[in-house]
Each structure stands twice: as C-alpha cells, then as structure tokens.
C-alpha cells in the first residue's frame, strides 16, 4: 500500500458514489422485508448457485455494485427464510427492520466490547439492568451477551463448576478436585446442555436426564430421588438446569419447586430459558414462570421471541462476582486503571469467555427502546394465541391429530395415516414436512413426541398470522391426501 491507500474511498466523488450504492443496498433490503409475504418461505437451491461459492480467492477488486448483485441473485433468495411469516421450523426469531438498522450502525462504529471505558459497554450494562429487573434479580446480578443460549448454558455450567469447586479448579482441573460432579436436567432439555457438560470437561453422561411428567415437565420427585441416589453413590451433585420453554413442546418446568429443591440441596439453579424466559414480557404468561427469580443463572436469547437479529444470546447470573470468579484473569496487556481508556473494571471479558466482542447490545437496545416492552410482550402473547388457534383447528380436522398439549407457542401434530404401521406413519409425516418446505408455502420442522414423528410448528415470528396457520394446515392435508389416503 502507498501512504495514501486505505480501504476507504479516496475522494469526495468516490464517497458520493459509495453513498449512492449504499442507498441502493438499503432500499433492496427494505424491499425484501416489505414484500416478504410474496416470496416462498424457502426454495430448493439450484446446483449452479451452490457452485458460485467455490471460486478461487479473488486477487483483484470487484465493484461493490457487482458483488451486491450477486448477493441479491445468489444469497438472498436462498436463506432459510426465518424472517418469513410462514416460517415455523425449529425455534427461530424473525428479526425486525429496526434491529437491522441498528446492526448497520454497530458495524460502522466497529466497537469492541471486550472492555475499556466506553459508552457501548454502558449500553450493554443498561440491558443487564433491564433483564435483572424483569427477572426479579438483585442489584448484585450481572451478565453479558454471548452468541446464543448454547454458549450461555456453557457459561452457566462453568460458573456453577467454579462455585462448587472453588477457583482452584481453573488452575488444577477437575481431577484435582477428587469429586465427580453431576448435574440434572429434564429428559426434554435441549442437547446443548449435555454439550456444555462435555465442553466443561465434566462429561455429557454426567448430566442426568430426569423423566418428564405427562405435561412434559421435569418430574420433581424423580429429580429429588436422583440427587439422593447420586449422593449415596459418592457423586457430587452441583447443578440443576431447569427448562423454561422446552424445544420439543414448549413446556415450562416447575421453576418454583425446582428452585426450592436446589436451595435445600445447595445446588446451583440454572434455567435454560432460551426463548421462554422472555415470556416475562407478556403479563398473562409471566405467572407461568414463577420461581424464575430464584435462579442462580438464566440463559436466554434475544434473537428468538424478542426478534433481535442474530445473534444475541445472554447469560445473567444472580451474583455477578461468581461470573468473575469463573472467568476473570490477570494479564499484563489487559491492565486496568481508574482513569483513561483502561478504566471501568470489571469489563465484559471478566464475565465470560470472549475477549473481542461485537456490539450485540446495540440492536437489542434499539429493539427494546423503539418497540417498547409492552409491544414485544404482545407479539409474544400473539404467537401463543396463534398456537392455540392452530390446535383448535387441528382438533376439528379429521385428517390431523395433536401429539402434545399446547403449552406456549409450539404445536406438535401429524397427518393421520390409517392402515400404515408406526414406521410408515413416521415416514409419511417426514415426507409431508419436506413437501411443505419445498412448496415454499410454509415451513414446519419435525421432532419426536411420545415415540412418534411429529410435524412441529414453533410460532415465534411476529409476522405470522392466522392466514399463515390456515395455509400450513391446508397444505399439510393436501400433501398428505395426495400421497396416502383417498379417504
């Protein structure tokens, strides 16, 4: 590079050109959001589009406009489609135009939120205060943004481990503790909890999966019995991870009873509230989360029910010092001061695994300020209302049956296939789901409920309406009938 050469435009005329192209790009993505409904939710990806992403490393420059054209042609149409109102697969948020704009501002500012004295960190701490109050945590609470609940659960497990074994475990490792730690979660818990136990070096099998009751909630009596049996066998129980909003059916464990048991047994009480915890924003759902405020830590995502663009996971600990115990480390190049840019300790890098961190707080702060907690809460309530509507429709449709009670916003059902055995019924329903996804009309996913393959609609997107539910159900019956049963 010459002394003059940077990656920015060089002259006012070039800045003007870039600005004009930037406005085109902004308009294109606004057009996409405004006219989402007219598009398929998802579409199969043509081979030549896949091939476009195996080009050699570009040595020379390309026009921004040309690269943007490729984005519009080859990338935008082939995303998974979770912004679309017909998307009900897995548990994905829809995003908002406000979140998108905030993300653009964050990228322009390019703040690194690992630490240092800067207002972007005050924005993150503002979000900490909001959720601390929302969940009924004391002033001692602290937390931070991470990629998602998978990472937030890992942070929770590591904090619980350090609280159980002391800070020495960070230096000497688990073997030096001479105690085999063991944790508990519901059989319906998300797989990332077992993965967190694995990554923490404790071992995935040391997460005991406690049976569920008929409402798909952790059986608290079975939990108490498992803890007792493990203690007798010489294990060291240290953590209970309850679920608020299970991934299969949307069940909420009895947080109050589990919280009391954890206190009695002096175990860390963690809640995986990936999407469910933010039901606290909806006044008629909040009572269902009674006991959430007893938690030692809560993992949740702003990118699901709160509609913040990916990614925006969060971990909140009741006592922020315990996060520092688990993560803070002394290094010469991160030395703190009481004035200047190195002030403002503790820094977010003292509370979690990451040093360099993006400004996820900004899109979350914008989303909460612009829409307000009430409107976000209403959109959460609305998805549950739609799930109840959907279950009522299923109950009156002879071709369909519900496979699990609708607790929140997730509906598990299937197309009836009289005459087919269990494996045949599962295969038929799996094929219906693929046909639905390929049709672009609606996109549910599958799970297994009570040993049956279920068509699973997780209604998370604020854009989904009754018409989208009707379209999904009608297409399910159509694809089912055309393949299986001239009833």
Chain residues binding ligand PLP by CB under 6 A are 91, 148-150, 190, 192, 243, 245-247, 272, 274-275, 301, 313
Q: How far is the CB of 254 from ligand PLP (least distance, A)?
A: 16
The verdict on whether omega for the bond into residue 276 sits within 30 degrees of 0, i.e. cis, is no
**Shortest distance (Å) from residue 123 CB to ligand PLP:** 21
Q: Which two tokens stand for residue 398?
A: 């002879």
Residue 103 or 272 with smaller CB distance to ligand PLP: 272
Do residues 204 and 194 make contact, with C-beta atoms less than 8 angstroms apart? yes
Closest distance of CB 476 from ligand PLP, Å: 23
**For strand 181-186 and strand 236-243, is the pairing parallel, antiparallel, or unpaired?**
parallel
Whose Cβ is closer to ligand PLP: residue 192's or residue 406's? 192
Closest residue to ligand PLP in the complex (CB): 148
At residue 343, the 3 state secondary structure works out as coil
Residue closer to ligand PLP (CB basis): 250 or 480: 250
| 239, containing H or E segment | strand 236-243
Which tokens go with 190?
Answer: 């998300």
Choice between 85 and 313, CB closer to ligand PLP: 313
Residues making up the chain, counted from first to last: 487
Token representation of residue 380 = 């959460």
8 A C-beta contact, residue 77 and residue 38: no
- In angstroms, how far apart are the furthest CA atoms of the chain? 78
What gap in Å lies between CA 463 and CA 476, rounded to an integer? 21
Give the shortest CB-20-to-ligand PLP separation in angstroms: 37
Which residue, among 69, 174, 146, has the nearest Cα to 302 in the 3D structure? 146
CA gap 127, 123 in Å, rounded: 7
> Residue 68 has which token pair?
């943007």
Task: Classify residue 329 by its DSSP letter.
Answer: -
Least Å from the CB of residue 411 to ligand PLP: 15
Residue 217 CB, shortest distance to ligand PLP, in Å, is 13
Residue closer to ligand PLP, measured from CB, 237 or 250: 250
What is the C-alpha separation between 203 and 285, in angstroms, rounded? Answer: 35
Write down the least CB distance from residue 247 to ligand PLP, Å.
4
Q: What are the residues whose beta carbons fall under 8 Å from the beta carbon of 472, sequence distance 6 or more?
A: 86, 88, 390, 436, 441, 442, 444, 457
Q: Which is nearer to ligand PLP, 303 or 416 (CB)?
A: 303
| Nearest residue (CB) to ligand PLP, 243 versus 393 | 243
- Whichever of 244 and 261 has its CB closer to ligand PLP, that residue is 244
* Between 296 and 301, CB nearer to ligand PLP: 301
- Shortest Å distance, C-beta 58 to ligand PLP: 32
Question: What is the distance between the alpha carbons of residues 364 and 100, in angstroms, rounded to a whole number?
Answer: 10
Closest to 178 (Cα-Cα) out of 190, 188, 164, 189:
164
Burial of 188 (0-12, 13-18, 19+ CB in 10 A): buried
**What are the CA-CA distances from residue 108 to residues 105, 124, 359, 362 (Å)?**
5, 17, 11, 12
Instruction: State the minimum distance, in angstroms, from the CB of residue 192 to ligand PLP.
Output: 5
* Closer by beta carbon to ligand PLP, 150 or else 439: 150
Distance CA 447, CA 453 (A): 6
Least Cβ distance, residue 274 to ligand PLP (angstroms): 3
* Shortest Cβ 213–ligand PLP spacing (Å): 18
Nearer to ligand PLP, 248 or 399 (CB): 248
Tokens of 486: 């001239």
Angle, helices 320-327/149-165, rounded to nearest 10 degrees:
90
């Amino acid at each position: 590079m010459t002394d003059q050469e940077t990656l920015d435009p060089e002259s006012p005329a070039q800045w003007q050109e870039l600005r004009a192209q930037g406005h085109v790009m902004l308009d294109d993505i606004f057009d996409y959001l405004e006219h989402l409904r007219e598009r398929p939710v998802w579409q199969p990806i043509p081979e030549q589009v896949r091939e476009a992403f195996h080009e050699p490393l570009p040595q020379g420059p390309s026009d921004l406009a040309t690269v943007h054209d490729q984005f519009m042609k080859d990338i935008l149409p082939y995303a998974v489609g979770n912004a679309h109102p017909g998307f009900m697969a897995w548990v994905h948020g829809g995003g908002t135009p406000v979140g998108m704009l905030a993300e653009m501002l964050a990228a322009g500012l390019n703040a690194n939120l690992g630490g240092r004295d800067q207002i972007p960190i005050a924005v993150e701490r503002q979000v900490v205060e909001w959720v601390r109050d929302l969940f009924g945590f004391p002033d001692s609470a602290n937390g931070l943004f991470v990629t998602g609940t998978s990472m937030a659960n890992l942070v929770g497990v590591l904090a619980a481990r350090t609280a159980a074994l002391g800070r020495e475990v960070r230096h000497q490792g688990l073997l030096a503790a001479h105690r085999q730690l063991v944790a508990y979660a519901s059989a319906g818990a998300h797989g990332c909890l077992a993965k967190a136990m694995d990554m923490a070096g404790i071992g995935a099998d040391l997460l005991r999966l406690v049976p569920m009751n008929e409402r798909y909630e952790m059986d608290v009596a079975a939990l108490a019995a498992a803890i007792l049996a493990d203690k007798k066998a010489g294990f060291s129980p240290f953590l209970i991870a309850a679920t608020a909003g299970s991934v299969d059916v949307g069940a909420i464990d009895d947080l109050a009873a589990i919280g009391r048991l954890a206190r009695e047994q002096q175990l860390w009480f963690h809640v995986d509230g990936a999407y469910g915890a933010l039901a606290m924003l909806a006044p008629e759902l909040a009572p269902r989360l009674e006991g959430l405020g007893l938690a030692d830590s809560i993992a949740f995502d702003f990118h699901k029910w709160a509609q913040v663009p990916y990614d925006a996971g969060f971990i909140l600990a009741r006592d922020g010092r315990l996060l520092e115990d688990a993560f803070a480390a002394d290094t010469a190049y991160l030395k703190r001061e009481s004035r200047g840019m190195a002030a403002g300790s503790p820094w977010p890098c003292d509370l979690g695994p990451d040093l360099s961190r993006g400004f996820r707080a900004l899109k979350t702060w914008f989303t909460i300020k612009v829409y307000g907690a009430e409107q976000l809460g209403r959109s959460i309530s609305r998805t549950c209302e739609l799930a109840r509507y959907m279950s009522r429709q299923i109950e009156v449709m002879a071709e369909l049956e519900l496979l699990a009670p609708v607790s929140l916003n997730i509906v598990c059902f299937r197309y009836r296939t009289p005459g087919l055995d269990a494996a045949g019924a599962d295969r038929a329903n799996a094929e219906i789901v693929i046909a639905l996804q390929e049709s672009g009309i609606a996109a549910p996913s599958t799970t297994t409920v009570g040993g049956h393959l279920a068509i699973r609609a997780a209604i998370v997107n604020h854009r989904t309406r009754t018409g989208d539910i009707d379209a999904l159900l009608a297409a399910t019956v159509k694809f089912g009938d055309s393949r299986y049963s001239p009833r």
